[in-house]
Structures are given as structure tokens and as C-alpha cells.
Amino acid sequence: MTLVILAYAPVLANALFDLCIAVLIARVLLVRSKNRALGGLIAVVLGACLLATTLAMRGDDDTPLYQAIGQVLSLTHAGWMIELGLIASLLLATGQRAMMYLAAWLLVYARAASGHAADQGWLSGAVGVQMLHLLAISLWAGSVIVFALRASHNGTLSSDQVQRLSQLSTIALCAILISGLLNFARIRQVTEVSAWSPYSTWFYAKLTCIVIAVALGAYNRWVTMPGVILGQRRSIQRFVQILQAEALVLIVTIFLAAKHGATMPS
């Protein structure tokens, strides 16, 4: 039981980190709020990432926890990226627009450079492609989640908001497809991936959720949105319900993607 917790704790912590990044990207671009509270939440989540990573790396070692944490922060790549994320959370606390954009960029870089892409170098093209992939996923998932929460609070969405969401989702999906294919090509150059390895299995699970989310979004775009633009109340209610379902599917996708990213290609 302990081994299972140690194995999955970093994955869950990183998934929460990814979720925070997605919401931050959407709020910076769409809501334009100061995001100070979100910065505090990100710092807490990064603390959880640090603790989970330390416990997983320490294993059965008798090294005191505080000493092991210091070693992770000072000696490991994962620790350095967590430190960079903590700096970004401090930048969010300033509430300044320029600092928010810088913080968002640093967080995306820290997450992208903490995975397999960094094996080719911290400033490699692989990390750049992974950053594009994370930005696109964050834009899509974050926008859907933010608009779904806003609709739950207000009970409705305006036609302008609906059309903007549709445009952002389309752009994000195109970027996800391009960067995903580039990532796949990079991994195939490094190692031969079996069709039924754990890495592939988690990919299939993630892809299934993405297909479901795309189908829900497409239904809203082509079937429900015309009625929303015309101000039909029933269409607006249906759009919000489907949007909320899409948000839930994308949250599950983020957690599956975190597990997929933590699995070695084989």
C-alpha cells in the first residue's frame, strides 16, 4: 500500500500542478484578474510536488525528511524545476500584468523541462515543442474549465463568450495535434514503443478522453451554438450542461496525461 502511495503521489501532485497551470493560462488571457490567490494555491501544490517527489526518491532510506528535501532541491533536476515554479508563484503575488505573463511562461517551462523532453537539453527544441503542447492543452482545458465555472455561477454565457471559447478551442486543438505529432516522432527516434506497453496503454486512455472531449465540443459548436447566438434559452442551458461535461472529461484527461508523462516509453 505504501509503495502504491509513493508511486502515485508525485503523479497526483503533478496533475494538480498541470490543472493550476491550465486555469492560470485561461485566467491570464480571458479573465485578466490579478491571480494572487491562484499563485498561493500553486505554491501549495508545488510544496506537495516537492514532498511527494522527495518521499518517492528517498524510498526506504533513513535520511531525515528535511535533509532529503534539501537534497532534492539542491541536487536534482526535479527540485530545480520546483524552485523555478515557486519563483513564478511569487511573481503572481505582485499582481502586475507583465509579471503574470512571465510567471505563466516560467511555469509552463518548468513543467515542460521536468519531463522526458529535457533529456535532450533544457533549452532544446524538444522542450520547446513540449512547451507548445502544454500551452495548447492549458489553453483548451483551462478555457473550458473557466467558462464552465463561470456558467455554473452565473447560470448563463453570452454569445460573445461562446464564440470566443469556440475559437480558442479550435486554435488549441490544432496546436495540440501538431505538437503531439512532433513529440511522438521524437520519442520514436529515441526508443521503440510497444503497442501494449504501460506507456502506450496510458496514451490510449488519454486519447480516448480527448476524443470524447472533442466530440462534446464539436456538438456544442455545430449543434448548440447557433441557438445560443440567437439567444434561445434552451440552447444556452444545453450548451452549459455539455460544457460542464467537457470540463470534467478534460480534468480526467489532465490526470491521465500526468501518469502518461511519468511513464517511461517502452
Predicted TM-score (pTM) of this structure: 0.91
Give pLDDT, residue 2.
Answer: 54
Give pLDDT, residue 4.
Answer: 55
Which residue type occupies 173? L
Give pLDDT, residue 6.
Answer: 58
- The whole-number mean pLDDT for each consecutive block of 10 residues of the chain, a chain of 266 residues, reads 62 92 89 77 92 81 83 88 93 87 94 78 83 94 93 79 89 93 84 83 94 96 91 90 96 93 82
